[in-house]
Amino acid sequence: MWIFNYLIILCLIVHVFTSDIETLDINEEESFLKSPKYLSNDELGLFFEDQTKKFPTLAKVHNVGTSVNNNTIWALEISKNVGNRSIGVPMFKYVANMHGDETLGRQLLIYLSQYLLENYNVLERITTLVDSVDIFLMPSLNPDGFASSMEGHCDSLNDYVGRSNANGVDLNRDFPDQFKDKTYNEAMFLTRQPETLAIMAWIVNNPFVLSGNIHGGALVASYPYDDSNSGRDCCEESISPDDSIFKDLAATYADHHPIMHKGDGCDNEKFTNGITNGAKWYEVRGGMQDFNYVHSNCFEITFELSCCKYPNSSTLPLEWHNNKLSLISFIESIHLGVKGQVLDENLEGINHAEVIVEGNNKTIYTTERGEYWRLLHPGVYKIYARALGYTQSAPSTITVTKDKTELLNFHLTVSPPSKEVLHHQFHFGIPMLKDLHNT
């Protein structure tokens, strides 16, 4: 009798296990894990070109800019309507290897591109993801640093060679700082590194909604803010207006990682549930994570994925399996909250309209087609829209759940300009950045 009961329990365990895998793994294509190696920047460019030839309706390669040593900063776009985004489809990005000696994310994004493309129309979950999100993957923001790094070195080399760019600058300290750089002028932007300037322009000139910035040397998901007005080195939270949803987003990655969620970092570090406020861990001034949130609509989380900065290539398949579900689940998080359009009386989209959640001073701005996406923690919110030359809408009460995106459109009527809205229009973003990037 006990044998019979044992077999029943065993069958139940196998059923639960295989059912869980089935949402992602059954019939999946992962032959790209054979003979693991890191690709050079030239190899990366050729690889992306091959992907666009193999999947011309799903993949498009982008040249985002060039490094100090004139290496191309590549990004691969993956989408059902690649190069022709449908209205309402949000834009997502992963950026890795901004510290050139932190290499795991670089190769994981290459694997992710292969996984998404080769499993499209094979795995339902992947097909749904690619159909509903415009995904951009940038394996290396710092190709010069990567070229100077050494495989197998778990710590940075002397003088941080490889971590920094070819000019010896830490790119994750090179962005305008919200507490230090309060006045924007052309001279300030001309002092930025070419890699920094390239991705700043990419961020502010595209309506990205969600982003992951992948690093190495620790094991944790870190959310804004990274710096604070106090100027302390660490140990004090710097809380953004969207602290709740940032915690949700960070937890999405950590919870799907077999190790990160346990909270055991590197060098005896402890992180509750594998996530941390950036400034509480250690303060970063001039970081890319805060720049995204302060100067665009994009919410970015920083993921530290390995205690070893440049792990041997033989470990890449294992690290892929550790991070695969997290990488995919985090992209899916882009559908949390509310989305819609701000429309005029002719049902035309209003560009650069403001979408405001009462009690939250983070404003979201519409695209040229009047689209917006507002990531929100589950709850009940009052949201309204306004735009220069239009009458402000009445607040709409909406309930946000964790299971789907709520659709909320606003219809505005023409009125005289509002000085308050004009103030917001003038101070949003960095209007000179596109011109500087193209000089």
By annotation, the residues acting in catalysis are 304
Q: What is the DSSP letter of 349?
A: B
Would you give the end-to-end CA distance of the chain in angstroms?
80
Partners of 59 in the beta sheet?
78
C-alpha separations of 54 from 32, 50, 226, 301, 358 in Å: 14, 6, 40, 31, 47
Cα 389 from Cα 115, distance rounded (Å) = 46
Buried b (16+ CB within 10 A) or exposed e, 388-409: bebebbeeeebebeeeebbebe
CB 105 within 8 A of CB 214: yes
Report CA-CA distances (Å) from 174 to 40, 426, 434: 25, 24, 18
Distance between CA 281 and CA 291 in Å, rounded? 18
Q: Is 235 left (phi over 0), alpha (psi -120 to 50) or beta?
A: left
Backbone angles phi, psi at 375, to 5 degrees: -65, 130
Burial of 167 (0-12, 13-18, 19+ CB in 10 A): middle
Largest CA distance in the chain: 83
Going by C-beta distance under 8 Å and a sequence separation of 6 or more, which residues neighbour residue 8?
none
Check: CB of residue 273 under 8 Å from CB of residue 291.
no
Strands (E) located in 118-226: 134-138, 208-215, 218-223
Q: What is the DSSP string of 5-44?
A: HHHHHHHHHHHHHHHHHHTTTTT---GGGSS--PPPHHHH
| CA atoms in the 13 A half-sphere facing the CB of 76 | 29
